[in-house]
Amino acid sequence: MFCSACGSPLPAEARFRPRCGRTVGATPPEPACLACRATLPARQLLCPSCGAEHQYCPHCGRLVLAKAISCPSCRGLVKVVGEILLQPSEYEHPSMQSVNQAMRKSPILNAIAEKVSRKIGKPWYESTFTSIPVTERQFPRVYDVALTAAQRLGLPRLPAVYVESSRGYASATYGSKQDAFVNVGSFLTRLLRDRELLFVVGHEYGHLIGQHALWLTVSNFMFGEHRSGIMSDGILGLLSPTRMVSAGVEALVTNWMRVADFTADRVGLLAVGDFEVARRALFLLYQKSRADLG
Protein backbone atom coordinates (compact mmCIF):
# COMPACT_ATOMS: atom_id res chain seq x y z
CA MET A 1 0.00 0.00 0.00
CA PHE A 2 1.27 3.47 -0.94
CA CYS A 3 0.39 6.96 0.23
CA SER A 4 -1.83 8.51 -2.45
CA ALA A 5 -0.42 11.96 -1.73
CA CYS A 6 3.34 11.47 -1.69
CA GLY A 7 3.81 7.93 -3.05
CA SER A 8 5.80 6.56 -0.08
CA PRO A 9 5.19 3.00 1.20
CA LEU A 10 2.47 3.02 3.86
CA PRO A 11 2.40 0.31 6.59
CA ALA A 12 -1.06 -1.02 7.45
CA GLU A 13 -0.78 0.14 11.07
CA ALA A 14 0.56 3.63 10.27
CA ARG A 15 -1.25 6.64 11.76
CA PHE A 16 0.67 9.27 9.77
CA ARG A 17 2.00 9.29 6.24
CA PRO A 18 5.85 9.04 6.52
CA ARG A 19 6.78 11.68 3.92
CA CYS A 20 3.97 14.21 3.68
CA GLY A 21 2.92 14.00 7.36
CA ARG A 22 -0.82 13.80 6.71
CA THR A 23 -3.06 11.72 8.94
CA VAL A 24 -3.81 8.36 7.33
CA GLY A 25 -7.56 8.93 7.64
CA ALA A 26 -7.38 12.39 6.05
CA THR A 27 -8.79 12.85 2.57
CA PRO A 28 -5.88 13.02 0.10
CA PRO A 29 -5.80 15.83 -2.45
CA GLU A 30 -7.14 15.06 -5.90
CA PRO A 31 -4.36 14.06 -8.30
CA ALA A 32 -3.44 16.52 -11.04
CA CYS A 33 -2.52 15.77 -14.64
CA LEU A 34 1.25 15.82 -15.00
CA ALA A 35 0.98 17.35 -18.49
CA CYS A 36 -1.53 20.19 -18.05
CA ARG A 37 -2.11 20.20 -14.24
CA ALA A 38 -5.89 19.73 -14.65
CA THR A 39 -7.61 17.67 -11.92
CA LEU A 40 -7.93 13.98 -12.75
CA PRO A 41 -11.32 12.36 -12.04
CA ALA A 42 -11.40 9.75 -9.28
CA ARG A 43 -9.95 6.38 -10.29
CA GLN A 44 -9.19 7.63 -13.80
CA LEU A 45 -5.74 7.85 -15.35
CA LEU A 46 -6.79 9.60 -18.56
CA CYS A 47 -6.83 13.39 -18.39
CA PRO A 48 -10.18 14.75 -19.71
CA SER A 49 -8.56 18.08 -20.55
CA CYS A 50 -5.49 17.20 -22.65
CA GLY A 51 -5.86 13.44 -23.12
CA ALA A 52 -2.58 12.53 -21.39
CA GLU A 53 -2.47 8.98 -20.02
CA HIS A 54 -0.98 8.20 -16.61
CA GLN A 55 0.18 5.16 -14.67
CA TYR A 56 1.54 4.38 -11.22
CA CYS A 57 5.23 3.66 -10.72
CA PRO A 58 5.59 -0.02 -9.74
CA HIS A 59 8.50 0.89 -7.44
CA CYS A 60 7.30 3.86 -5.37
CA GLY A 61 3.62 4.20 -6.31
CA ARG A 62 3.83 7.79 -7.58
CA LEU A 63 1.76 8.95 -10.53
CA VAL A 64 3.78 9.18 -13.76
CA LEU A 65 2.90 9.71 -17.40
CA ALA A 66 2.13 6.54 -19.34
CA LYS A 67 4.83 7.42 -21.89
CA ALA A 68 7.47 7.77 -19.17
CA ILE A 69 10.32 5.29 -19.24
CA SER A 70 11.56 6.01 -15.72
CA CYS A 71 10.01 7.49 -12.59
CA PRO A 72 11.43 10.98 -11.93
CA SER A 73 11.10 10.43 -8.19
CA CYS A 74 12.76 7.04 -7.53
CA ARG A 75 14.48 6.53 -10.95
CA GLY A 76 12.83 3.13 -11.22
CA LEU A 77 12.31 1.93 -14.78
CA VAL A 78 8.63 1.79 -15.62
CA LYS A 79 9.20 0.11 -18.98
CA VAL A 80 11.85 -2.60 -19.19
CA VAL A 81 12.79 -4.33 -22.44
CA GLY A 82 14.76 -7.19 -20.90
CA GLU A 83 12.79 -9.81 -18.97
CA ILE A 84 15.27 -10.18 -16.11
CA LEU A 85 18.52 -8.67 -14.95
CA LEU A 86 21.59 -10.27 -16.48
CA GLN A 87 23.42 -12.66 -14.19
CA PRO A 88 27.23 -12.31 -14.06
CA SER A 89 27.66 -16.00 -14.91
CA GLU A 90 26.08 -15.31 -18.32
CA TYR A 91 28.73 -12.86 -19.51
CA GLU A 92 31.77 -12.99 -17.22
CA HIS A 93 35.25 -13.61 -18.57
CA PRO A 94 36.18 -17.27 -17.84
CA SER A 95 38.88 -16.29 -15.34
CA MET A 96 36.70 -13.79 -13.42
CA GLN A 97 35.69 -16.11 -10.60
CA SER A 98 39.22 -17.30 -9.86
CA VAL A 99 40.50 -13.70 -9.78
CA ASN A 100 37.62 -12.66 -7.50
CA GLN A 101 38.49 -15.44 -5.07
CA ALA A 102 42.12 -14.34 -4.99
CA MET A 103 41.02 -10.76 -4.22
CA ARG A 104 38.79 -11.90 -1.36
CA LYS A 105 41.63 -13.89 0.19
CA SER A 106 43.89 -10.84 0.47
CA PRO A 107 43.61 -9.36 4.00
CA ILE A 108 45.37 -6.19 2.82
CA LEU A 109 42.85 -5.46 0.06
CA ASN A 110 39.87 -6.35 2.21
CA ALA A 111 41.01 -4.01 4.99
CA ILE A 112 41.29 -1.15 2.50
CA ALA A 113 38.01 -2.07 0.78
CA GLU A 114 36.16 -1.97 4.10
CA LYS A 115 37.36 1.59 4.76
CA VAL A 116 36.71 2.73 1.19
CA SER A 117 33.14 1.36 1.27
CA ARG A 118 32.38 3.55 4.30
CA LYS A 119 33.78 6.73 2.71
CA ILE A 120 32.99 6.65 -1.00
CA GLY A 121 29.49 7.52 -2.11
CA LYS A 122 27.57 10.00 -4.24
CA PRO A 123 27.76 12.83 -1.62
CA TRP A 124 31.56 12.46 -1.50
CA TYR A 125 31.77 12.33 -5.30
CA GLU A 126 29.54 15.36 -5.86
CA SER A 127 31.53 17.45 -3.36
CA THR A 128 34.97 16.38 -4.66
CA PHE A 129 34.77 16.23 -8.45
CA THR A 130 33.62 18.72 -11.08
CA SER A 131 30.62 16.73 -12.19
CA ILE A 132 27.04 17.28 -13.32
CA PRO A 133 24.28 14.68 -12.76
CA VAL A 134 22.62 13.47 -15.95
CA THR A 135 18.87 14.15 -16.08
CA GLU A 136 16.18 14.75 -18.70
CA ARG A 137 17.18 18.45 -18.74
CA GLN A 138 20.91 18.17 -18.10
CA PHE A 139 22.71 16.27 -20.89
CA PRO A 140 19.42 14.85 -22.27
CA ARG A 141 21.28 12.92 -24.99
CA VAL A 142 23.39 11.08 -22.41
CA TYR A 143 20.23 10.53 -20.34
CA ASP A 144 18.47 8.87 -23.30
CA VAL A 145 21.49 6.64 -23.95
CA ALA A 146 21.66 5.69 -20.25
CA LEU A 147 17.95 4.81 -20.30
CA THR A 148 18.34 2.67 -23.42
CA ALA A 149 21.25 0.76 -21.90
CA ALA A 150 19.36 0.20 -18.63
CA GLN A 151 16.31 -1.08 -20.52
CA ARG A 152 18.26 -3.45 -22.76
CA LEU A 153 20.19 -4.92 -19.84
CA GLY A 154 17.09 -5.36 -17.70
CA LEU A 155 18.11 -3.02 -14.87
CA PRO A 156 15.24 -2.30 -12.45
CA ARG A 157 16.38 1.30 -11.87
CA LEU A 158 18.33 3.92 -13.78
CA PRO A 159 21.76 4.18 -12.13
CA ALA A 160 23.14 7.59 -11.20
CA VAL A 161 25.20 8.88 -14.14
CA TYR A 162 27.42 11.98 -14.09
CA VAL A 163 29.31 13.93 -16.75
CA GLU A 164 32.71 14.89 -15.34
CA SER A 165 34.83 17.62 -16.90
CA SER A 166 38.11 16.54 -15.30
CA ARG A 167 38.07 13.01 -16.79
CA GLY A 168 38.02 14.16 -20.41
CA TYR A 169 38.07 11.04 -22.57
CA ALA A 170 37.55 8.44 -19.81
CA SER A 171 34.61 6.82 -18.06
CA ALA A 172 34.54 5.05 -14.71
CA THR A 173 32.42 3.33 -12.07
CA TYR A 174 32.78 4.39 -8.44
CA GLY A 175 31.17 3.62 -5.09
CA SER A 176 30.38 0.57 -3.03
CA LYS A 177 28.09 -2.42 -3.51
CA GLN A 178 25.18 -0.48 -2.02
CA ASP A 179 25.86 2.89 -3.64
CA ALA A 180 27.50 2.64 -7.06
CA PHE A 181 27.41 5.23 -9.84
CA VAL A 182 28.87 5.96 -13.27
CA ASN A 183 30.74 8.96 -14.60
CA VAL A 184 31.43 9.83 -18.24
CA GLY A 185 34.14 12.24 -19.37
CA SER A 186 32.78 15.42 -20.91
CA PHE A 187 34.89 15.03 -24.08
CA LEU A 188 33.30 11.62 -24.77
CA THR A 189 29.88 13.22 -25.14
CA ARG A 190 31.25 15.20 -28.09
CA LEU A 191 33.56 12.55 -29.56
CA LEU A 192 31.17 9.58 -29.59
CA ARG A 193 27.96 9.14 -31.50
CA ASP A 194 24.89 7.73 -29.79
CA ARG A 195 25.54 4.02 -30.39
CA GLU A 196 29.22 4.35 -29.53
CA LEU A 197 28.28 6.10 -26.31
CA LEU A 198 25.76 3.33 -25.69
CA PHE A 199 28.63 0.82 -25.70
CA VAL A 200 30.60 2.91 -23.20
CA VAL A 201 27.64 3.32 -20.83
CA GLY A 202 26.79 -0.38 -21.22
CA HIS A 203 30.41 -1.19 -20.31
CA GLU A 204 30.07 0.79 -17.06
CA TYR A 205 26.72 -0.84 -16.32
CA GLY A 206 28.54 -4.14 -16.69
CA HIS A 207 30.73 -3.12 -13.76
CA LEU A 208 27.60 -2.24 -11.78
CA ILE A 209 25.83 -5.53 -12.52
CA GLY A 210 28.99 -7.49 -11.70
CA GLN A 211 29.43 -5.48 -8.44
CA HIS A 212 32.89 -4.31 -9.51
CA ALA A 213 32.37 -0.75 -8.24
CA LEU A 214 33.99 -1.22 -4.84
CA TRP A 215 37.13 -2.91 -6.15
CA LEU A 216 37.44 -0.41 -9.00
CA THR A 217 37.30 2.40 -6.47
CA VAL A 218 39.90 0.69 -4.30
CA SER A 219 42.27 0.14 -7.23
CA ASN A 220 41.87 3.72 -8.49
CA PHE A 221 42.79 5.20 -5.15
CA MET A 222 45.61 2.76 -4.44
CA PHE A 223 47.43 2.87 -7.74
CA GLY A 224 46.10 5.40 -10.21
CA GLU A 225 43.56 8.11 -9.56
CA HIS A 226 43.59 9.14 -5.91
CA ARG A 227 43.61 12.88 -5.43
CA SER A 228 45.80 14.54 -2.83
CA GLY A 229 44.23 14.68 0.58
CA ILE A 230 41.14 12.57 -0.21
CA MET A 231 42.46 9.40 1.36
CA SER A 232 45.08 10.89 3.64
CA ASP A 233 43.32 9.95 6.88
CA GLY A 234 44.11 6.29 7.04
CA ILE A 235 43.13 4.33 3.94
CA LEU A 236 46.33 4.60 1.94
CA GLY A 237 48.23 4.89 5.21
CA LEU A 238 47.34 1.33 6.14
CA LEU A 239 50.28 0.02 4.12
CA SER A 240 53.70 1.14 3.04
CA PRO A 241 54.54 0.88 -0.70
CA THR A 242 57.24 -1.70 0.05
CA ARG A 243 54.82 -3.92 1.90
CA MET A 244 52.24 -3.66 -0.86
CA VAL A 245 54.72 -4.67 -3.54
CA SER A 246 56.10 -7.53 -1.45
CA ALA A 247 52.60 -8.88 -0.91
CA GLY A 248 51.93 -8.86 -4.67
CA VAL A 249 48.91 -6.65 -4.15
CA GLU A 250 49.50 -4.38 -7.13
CA ALA A 251 49.93 -7.31 -9.53
CA LEU A 252 46.74 -8.91 -8.21
CA VAL A 253 44.71 -5.72 -8.59
CA THR A 254 46.11 -5.03 -12.06
CA ASN A 255 45.17 -8.54 -13.21
CA TRP A 256 41.68 -8.19 -11.74
CA MET A 257 41.13 -4.82 -13.47
CA ARG A 258 42.07 -6.30 -16.83
CA VAL A 259 39.66 -9.23 -16.43
CA ALA A 260 36.91 -6.92 -15.09
CA ASP A 261 37.26 -4.71 -18.19
CA PHE A 262 36.99 -7.75 -20.47
CA THR A 263 33.82 -8.71 -18.61
CA ALA A 264 32.35 -5.20 -18.85
CA ASP A 265 33.15 -5.05 -22.58
CA ARG A 266 30.94 -8.08 -23.07
CA VAL A 267 28.05 -6.27 -21.39
CA GLY A 268 28.68 -3.18 -23.52
CA LEU A 269 28.46 -5.39 -26.60
CA LEU A 270 25.14 -6.83 -25.36
CA ALA A 271 23.81 -3.29 -24.87
CA VAL A 272 24.74 -2.04 -28.35
CA GLY A 273 24.21 -5.34 -30.20
CA ASP A 274 26.75 -4.58 -32.92
CA PHE A 275 30.36 -5.78 -32.92
CA GLU A 276 31.51 -3.10 -35.38
CA VAL A 277 30.09 -0.30 -33.23
CA ALA A 278 31.82 -1.77 -30.16
CA ARG A 279 35.10 -2.06 -32.05
CA ARG A 280 34.82 1.53 -33.28
CA ALA A 281 34.03 2.82 -29.78
CA LEU A 282 37.10 1.09 -28.32
CA PHE A 283 39.27 2.51 -31.08
CA LEU A 284 37.99 6.04 -30.43
CA LEU A 285 38.55 5.68 -26.69
CA TYR A 286 42.23 5.02 -27.33
CA GLN A 287 42.79 7.39 -30.27
CA LYS A 288 40.63 10.23 -28.86
CA SER A 289 39.97 11.45 -32.39
CA ARG A 290 37.83 10.48 -35.38
CA ALA A 291 40.50 11.64 -37.84
CA ASP A 292 42.18 8.19 -38.01
CA LEU A 293 38.93 6.23 -38.10
CA GLY A 294 38.85 4.14 -41.24
Per-residue model confidence as pLDDT tens digits over 98-115? 887 777 777 777 777 777
150-196 per-position pLDDT tens digit = 988 888 888 899 999 877 898 988 877 667 889 999 999 999 999 99
Buried-state track 211-242, b at ≥16 Cβ within 10 A, e below 16: ebbbbbbbbbbbeeeeeeeebeeebbeebeee
Count of beta carbons in the 10 Å neighbourhood of residue 60: 18
pTM of structure: 0.71
Are residues 178 and 251 in contact, defined by beta-carbon separation less than 8 angstroms?
no
210-223 per-position pLDDT tens digit = 888 877 877 776 66
49-85 per-position pLDDT tens digit = 888 888 887 777 788 888 877 787 777 777 655 445 6
Q: For the chain, give me the number of helices (H) and strands (E)?
A: 10, 6
